[in-house]
């Protein structure tokens, strides 16, 4: 039904592209629901009206807006079926926000009828690798809509005049295309506004961006993501009714991630407990990367990876943003004895001698000796090598 409102809305404003895009979308939907006859009829109507009505530059309703200077597309369509992805792991509170947003987006027409429709937009914020882009794909897939990504830094980097044009092109596209529009690197817009050295002209650009956002109306679904929420001012925050904080996953979510991502590799419950602790400060993306490497290792070595392999991969996952949060980073470059000692100092119960043996790939006796030796030296001369 939503489509019908949009088609009528487009027709009343003489917005042919909008009418056509939503009619094509409705035809696809009807076909999926089994009504091939209506779908065929709509498509026939589209084909027949194609030539007479439309000026030549509007020939491709799905043509992406491009930057006037660089000729690069301002937005990019995401192929939602391109890859198989592991399940998303969020806390209950986070799922509540996502699900509420989804249900509002799905039932906007009813809300509109009762005068209860507000902007349908969601701001996701959190460090890199916390799942913002992943969630954008999830939301578009759940709504059965195409996902288009606009990188705001790209939109803004060019001349002021073209920036204003770009913004208009972007919102025009969103207004007449059934889609989820994902504004990635959203802080790029806030940076401009906060920079006091910039000209008033630049501020106007930002304000026009915000006005465009306001003018879109509840039928357009907008997602925005930022790694730097502290850069967004209150005027920008207020535009987003739904807000989702993503962060470094706490132990219970890490446990679920390891469990989901490592399947079907067989790591036991005790192994998982160690992985959960060792991955403190890791992002969801880091945990997925470790898991991916272990899956790959199984294929190349034809052997199921063990805990010691996982430990090595965990230790050498690349240095990146957020790595100072990882407790494992503090052990980087240490001698294995010092590592064994540090782990025991951290949690003697979890890092039992048996666990350490497993983790380091040595016998229990050796693991015991290592910590013993460390124990003797504690408080004495540092034994670690770099």
For 101-117, letters b (16+ CB in 10 Å) and e give bbebbeebbeebeeeeb
Q: Per rule CB under 6 A, is residue 130 in the interface with ligand ADP?
A: yes
Instruction: Please report, to the nearest 10 degrees, the dihedral formed by the alpha carbons of residues 329, 334, 339, 342 taken in order.
Output: -70
Nearest to 314 by CA among 338, 335, 332: 332
Give the CA count within 13 Å in the CB-facing half-sphere of 134.
Answer: 16
Give yes or no for residue 283 binding Mg ion (CB under 5 A): no
Q: Taking CB under 6 A as the rule, does residue 322 contact ligand ADP?
A: no
134 part of the interface to ligand ADP, by CB under 6 A: yes
* 35: its two tokens: 């009504």
Residue 9 site contact among Mg ion, ligand ADP, none (CB < 5 to 8 Å, cut-off depends on kind): none
Report the alpha-carbon distance of residue 151 to residue 253 in Å, rounded.
29
75, 90, 156, 167: residue in contact with ligand ADP (rule CB under 6 A): 90
Residue 133 to residue 224: CA distance in whole angstroms: 10
Query: Which two structure tokens, joined as six digits, stand for 310?
Result: 């996982």
Round to whole Å and give the CA distance between 71 and 86. 35
CA distances from 52 to 11, 12, 59, 116, 342 (A): 16, 19, 11, 39, 76
362 binds, among ligand ADP, Mg ion, none (CB under 5 to 8 A by kind): none
Among 2, 21, 23, 133, binds ligand ADP (CB under 6 A): 133
Partner interacting with residue 119 (select from ligand ADP, Mg ion, none; CB below 5-8 Å by kind): none
Count CB neighbours of 374 within 10 A: 20
Helix (H, G, I), strand (E, B) or coil at 219: coil
Residues touching Mg ion, count (CB under 5 A): 2
Residue 134 or 297 with smaller CB distance to Mg ion: 134
Closest CA to 236 of 204, 190, 201: 190
Integer Cα distance of 75 and 179 in angstroms: 12
Q: Which of residues 259-298 bind ligand ADP (CB under 6 A)?
A: 284-285, 288
Q: Is 85 in the site for ligand ADP (CB under 6 A)?
A: yes
By beta-carbon proximity to ligand ADP, the closer residue of 22 and 182 is 182
Taking the least distance from each CB to ligand ADP, the nearer of 119 and 284 is: 284
250 lies in the site for ligand ADP, by CB under 6 A: no
Residues 100-139 that bind Mg ion (CB under 5 A): 132-133
Whether the CB-CB separation of 314 and 268 falls below 8 Å is answered with no
User: Which of residues 2 and 226 has its CB atom nearest to Mg ion in the complex?
Assistant: 226
Residue nearest to ligand ADP (CB): 284
Question: Out of ligand ADP, Mg ion, none, which partner does residue 88 contact, by CB within 5 to 8 A per kind?
Answer: ligand ADP
Number of residues that bind ligand ADP (CB under 6 A): 15
Which of residues 164 and 245 has its CB atom nearest to ligand ADP in the complex?
245
Binding site for Mg ion (CB under 5 A): 132-133
Binding site for ligand ADP (CB under 6 A): 85-86, 88-90, 128-134, 284-285, 288
């Amino acid at each position: 039904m939503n489509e019908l409102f949009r088609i009528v809305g487009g027709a009343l404003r003489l917005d042919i592209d909008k009418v056509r895009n939503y009619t094509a979308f409705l035809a696809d939907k009807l076909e999926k629901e089994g009504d091939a006859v209506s779908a065929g009829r709509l498509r026939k109507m589209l084909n027949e009206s194609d030539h007479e009505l439309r000026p030549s530059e509007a020939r491709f309703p799905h043509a992406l807006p491009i930057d006037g200077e660089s000729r690069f597309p301002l937005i990019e369509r995401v192929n939602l079926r391109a890859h198989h992805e592991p399940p998303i792991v969020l806390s209950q509170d986070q799922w509540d926000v996502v699900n509420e947003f989804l249900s509002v987006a799905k039932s906007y027409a009813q809300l509109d009828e009762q005068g209860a429709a507000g902007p349908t937009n969601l701001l996701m914020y959190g460090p890199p690798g916390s799942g913002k882009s992943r969630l954008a794909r999830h939301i578009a897939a759940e709504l059965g809509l195409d996902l288009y990504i606009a990188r705001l830094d790209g939109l803004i980097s060019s001349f002021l005049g073209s920036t204003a044009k770009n913004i208009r092109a972007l919102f025009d596209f969103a207004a007449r295309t059934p889609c989820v529009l994902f504004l990635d690197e959203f802080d790029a817009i806030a940076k401009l506004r906060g920079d006091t050295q910039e000209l008033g002209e630049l501020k106007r650009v930002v304000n026009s961006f915000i006005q465009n956002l306001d003018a879109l109306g509840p039928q357009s679904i907008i997602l925005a993501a930022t790694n730097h929420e502290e850069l967004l001012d209150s005027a920008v925050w207020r535009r987003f009714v739904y807000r989702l904080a993503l962060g470094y996953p706490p132990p219970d979510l890490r446990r679920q991630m390891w469990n989901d991502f490592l399947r079907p590799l067989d790591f036991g419950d005790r192994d998982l407990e160690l992985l959960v602790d060792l991955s403190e400060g890791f992002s969801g993306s880091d945990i997925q990367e470790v898991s991916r490497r272990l899956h790959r290792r199984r294929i190349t070595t034809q052997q199921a990876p063990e805990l010691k392999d996982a430990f090595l991969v965990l230790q050498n996952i690349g240095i990146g943003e957020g790595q100072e949060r990882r407790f494992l980073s503090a052990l980087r470059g240490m001698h294995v004895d010092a590592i064994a000692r540090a782990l025991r100092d951290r949690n003697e119960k979890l890092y039992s001698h048996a666990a350490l043996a497993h983790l380091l790939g040595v016998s229990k006796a050796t693991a015991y000796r290592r910590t013993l030796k460390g124990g003797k030296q504690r408080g004495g001369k540092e034994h670690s090598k770099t």
